[in-house]
Structure 1
Amino acid sequence: MNLIKIKVIISLAIFVVAIVLIMLQLPENSQGEVIVLSDNESVDKSPLSVTIMHPEGVGPHPAAVLLHGCYGVSNKHHQWSKTLNEWGYTTLIVDSFSLQGIQEICTADDRIWQHFNQQRPKDALIALNYLQSLSEVNSNEIVLFGWSYGGAITLKVLEKSSTTQGKGYSAGIAFYPSCWQYQQYMMSGKDYKAAVPIRILMGEDDEWTRPIHCQQLLNSDKDELQQQLWTYAGAYHNFDDQQQRYQFLNHVRRESKQHPWGGVHVGYNKQAHLDAQAAIKTFLKNNFSEQKRLSPEALLDAAASL
């Protein structure tokens, strides 16, 4: 009997050791490492939560900053981060809400929106400065991604006439931004001119942020290679979120002064998602090898203007 017990104990010990060895070989956190950053140049020094995710290899790697929409960080941003990691990018998901006790602002009043209209471009700069401090990152190859409200912030940060222009970002990707909101609340000039190549991606059937407003915003630009609008047939808002079922959302902020609240359709579209992935991969590959960089002097002057 004692011999049997000893064999059982030995077997259990071997099993436990095997499990431990397997666990040690797994990634520490498939969702990335959460870091709290602070803006040392700001008066209130508001902390900012970010999640960094790494590609394979030593680097230096190109990098991407990801800005969420009015519903905050979701699985969609982590999935895009993993895709970018596979392409060789270090990624930083910026969470502008959680440390301020905010879950979402899709239903918030104008006062809340105005606060974040001022804060979020600064968040994009804090994230950029952090990535540029990392030895694993190529500081000349950092792209700014934004979704919905974050897409509008991306337009603002990369606008030529903006006080936050350039800052070392090499390109921009804006998923279904509210170009109407951008024109209403954040635009500093009459004609939109991007400081770097930028692409806007939208579903043709998007009712929440309508492509027509982005088309009007870009109509004045004669440099078609600098900024373009790409649309996808049969796609609604949030078409790239694999967890977004087709549904109708009631009472959300819309693009209208007369009827600012209403209902919209949202839903995942696999083909549009795959097409967007392929288009973005090609866009980044082309622009990071050819993009002209702002001089160090220009970056210092821009930083001093904040």
Structure 2
Amino acid sequence: MTFATHLFPRKAFAALALAGACAGAAWAQPAAEAPVVLQQVELPLPSGAVLRAHWWPAPQPSVHATASAQPAVLALHGCGGLYAKTGVLSSRYRETAETLHAAGYAVLMPDSFGSRGLHDVCQTRYRDRTLGVNDRAQDARAALVWLVAQPGVDAQRIGVMGWSNGGTTTLNLLVQRHSDLQEGEPPLAGAAVFYPGCVPLLKRQAVAESVPLLMQLGALDDWTPAQPCVEWAAALQARAGSDVTVHVYEGSYHGFDGTAPVRLRGDVPNGTSVQGVHQGGNLQARAKSLAALQSFWSRVLGTRKAP
């Protein structure tokens, strides 16, 4: 499996910073079923296309306190897209947005699929996908430039996270930035991923940007197996000054941080078995992984200050 790397011309992201500061056009939102006050914004891409995203600015101090810049997290969805089959924001992403916002962080969730007329690519073989993780990494880079231009965002405290395909995208983002950090792109305070795919990264011995990294994996994952990520992470950990943490949860499949029961998905052709892949939650792994995630963000982004 190979992915072509498409890098934009240098200074393209610098131009986006100015455009991003003014972008904020509304777009149609699926009917909400949870009290998540996400704004719908449009982010300009260097190609001239538009990336739709959900944006939730960080809560500001009371009117009697001085406003200050707050941390922000860029969250990247998995191969199933941002939405449930009913058209509402999936519970995993609603929960994440609420938890991050309650901690005092701004949240930006790009819709890489819906922006291109796609919904779900889980059932499409890797080689047949029209949108690869390197393309999505370019979405993330543009989103970071837009994010740092927003009022109230602390440019020194920005994190990125992703699940599955979004986790793989996050890792490829770090690899891209290691060799080609472009003008206008902010530094990253940390990155966190759930069950990404690491086989291509391991095969080419890719080197990633040196930022605090949290990898959370399922020991029984037969969709994106844990072992390649463990081995690739070990190579990163061998570098001087590295800050890479890996948690592998026993008895856990792909999607262990969710609440749905484990099921065999015969419609997914990208796993280790021709029979399909297992997907579903593990209550113990869910609790431990979400606690580890909160601890990680507290460490690299800081905790919310009392008014």
1:54 maps to 2:57: yes
**Number of residue equivalences:** 251
Q: Given that residues 74 and 144 in structure 2 are in contact (C-alpha distance below 8 angstroms), is that contact kept between their aligned partners in structure 1?
A: yes
1:177 maps to 2:196: yes
Q: What is the CA-CA distance between 1:172 and the residue it aligns to?
A: 0.3
Q: Given that residues 162 and 194 in structure 2 are in contact (C-alpha distance below 8 angstroms), is that contact kept between their aligned partners in structure 1?
A: yes
Residue 132 of structure 2 aligns with which residue? 116
Q: What is the CA-CA distance between 1:247 and the residue it aligns to?
A: 1.1
Question: Which stretch shifts more, 100-109 or 78-87?
Answer: 100-109
Q: Distance in 1 between matches of 2:150 and 2:110?
A: 16
Amino acid of the residue matched to residue 234 of structure 1? G
Q: Distance in 2 between matches of 1:204 and 1:109?
A: 23
Amino acid of the residue matched to residue 300 of structure 2? N
Q: What is the CA-CA distance between 1:181 and the residue it aligns to?
A: 4.3
Q: Distance in 2 between matches of 1:182 and 1:153?
A: 11
Q: Given that residues 33 and 51 in structure 1 are in contact (C-alpha distance below 8 angstroms), is that contact kept between their aligned partners in structure 2?
A: yes
TM-score, normalization: structure 2?
0.74
Unmatched tracts of structure 2, length 5 or more = 1-33, 62-67, 83-89, 303-307
Q: Distance in 2 between matches of 1:54 and 1:167?
A: 18
Cα–Cα, structure 1 residues 150 and 249, in superposed 2: closer, same or farther, change >3 Å?
same
Match of 1:200 among 174, 199, 215: 215
Match of 1:263 among 276, 282, 294: 276
Q: Distance in 2 between matches of 1:279 and 1:118?
A: 27
Q: How does 1:1-306 map to 2 (within 5 A)?
A: 30-39=36-45, 41-42=46-47, 45-58=48-61, 59-73=68-82, 74-110=90-126, 112-113=128-129, 115-159=131-175, 161-164=178-181, 167-183=186-202, 190-220=205-235, 221-223=237-239, 225-242=242-259, 244-255=260-271, 261-288=274-301
Q: What is the CA-CA distance between 1:31 and the residue it aligns to?
A: 4.8
Q: Given that residues 180 and 255 in structure 1 are in contact (C-alpha distance below 8 angstroms), is that contact kept between their aligned partners in structure 2?
A: no
Per chain length, whose mean CA-contact separation is higher, i.e. which structure has more relative contact order (CA < 8 Å, sep 6+)?
2
TM-score, normalization: structure 1?
0.74
SS of structure 1 residue aligned to 2:232: helix
Q: Distance in 1 between matches of 2:201 and 2:81?
A: 18
Q: Distance in 2 between matches of 1:29 and 1:282?
A: 25
**Greater helix proportion:** 1
Q: What is the CA-CA distance between 1:102 and the residue it aligns to?
A: 0.6
Q: Distance in 2 between matches of 1:236 and 1:152?
A: 17
Deviations 1:200-255 (A, max 9, x none): 1012221111111101112223258512211122221111223x332110031335
Q: Give structure 1 regions of 4+ aligned residues with deviation exceeding 3 angstroms.
A: 109-115, 164-167, 181-184, 191-194
Residue 15 of structure 1 aligns with which residue? none
Q: Distance in 1 between matches of 2:165 and 2:193?
A: 9
Unmatched tracts of structure 1, length 5 or more = 1-27, 290-306
Question: Which stretch shifts more, 230-239 or 138-147?
Answer: 230-239
SS of structure 2 residue aligned to 1:236: coil
